[in-house]
Amino acid sequence: MKRSLTLLGCLLLSAPVFALRMPGEVQPDRYTYYLTAEYGQQLKMQNDGKGRKSAFQPLPAGELRSETRADLSKGYPAPVAMTCISSIYYNTGARANWLKVGCIDNNGLEYEANQKWPPKSVAERVCKAGEGDCESFLQMDTDSWSGPQ
């Protein structure tokens, strides 16, 4: 019994589960950024733990911070695209409504930005997810909802 519980605990701890935490009112539109090679390498360095900013260190508005733990994100190739979504929430410290942007790249790794969307300059192309040849790397529970039955 003890051995079974230990094995179960090991399995639960070793299985990474990624889910963006988006407080407040989630906005319906998603945008996919097809990243420049330079920006993809910059995010890879962040994921590998080099140049990773502390969670307590403030970032300029719109700058992405890796939200995936370094031990889980290390070793992935540089991302080539990411899909982002936003929410508006009340920031009690600032006493104002703030924009939070959450992104998931083509490797499944998470990023966040505050107050602004990432600049278009980090991408070769930005498109609205689901339109034309625009992929989405971020799926929502409501994507498969077919309305009231």
Handedness of CA 59, 64, 68, 70 (dihedral sign): negative
Residue 145 forms part of a structural domain? no
pLDDT digits (tens, 9 = 90+) for 26-82: 998 999 999 999 999 999 988 887 666 666 667 788 889 888 877 788 889 999 999
Note whether residue 109 is domain-resident.
yes
Q: Would you state the pLDDT for residue 128?
A: 94
Residue 28 sits at the vertex; the CA angle it makes with 121 and 61, to the nearest 5 degrees, is 40
Question: Is residue 146 included in any domain, yes or no?
Answer: no
By CB atoms closer than 10 A (0-12, 13-18, 19+), residue 129 is middle
- The pTM of the full predicted model, rounded to 2 decimals, is 0.77
Instruction: Assess if residue 83 is contained within a domain.
Output: yes
Does residue 68 belong to any structural domain of this protein? yes
Give residue 24's pLDDT band: very low, low, confident or very high (50, 70, 90).
very high
* pLDDT (average), residues 136-147: 70
Q: How many domains does the chain have?
A: 1
Dist CA 140 CA 117 (whole Å): 19
Residue 76 covered by a domain = yes
Tokens encoding 149: 């039955």
Residue range 111-124, pLDDT digits in tens? 999 999 999 999 99
Separation CA 103–CA 56 (nearest Å): 19
Q: In this structure, is residue 148 part of a structural domain?
A: no
Where in the sequence is the domain holding 77, given as residue range(s)?
Answer: 19-133
Q: What is the pLDDT of residues 76-86, one digit of tens each?
A: 999 999 999 99
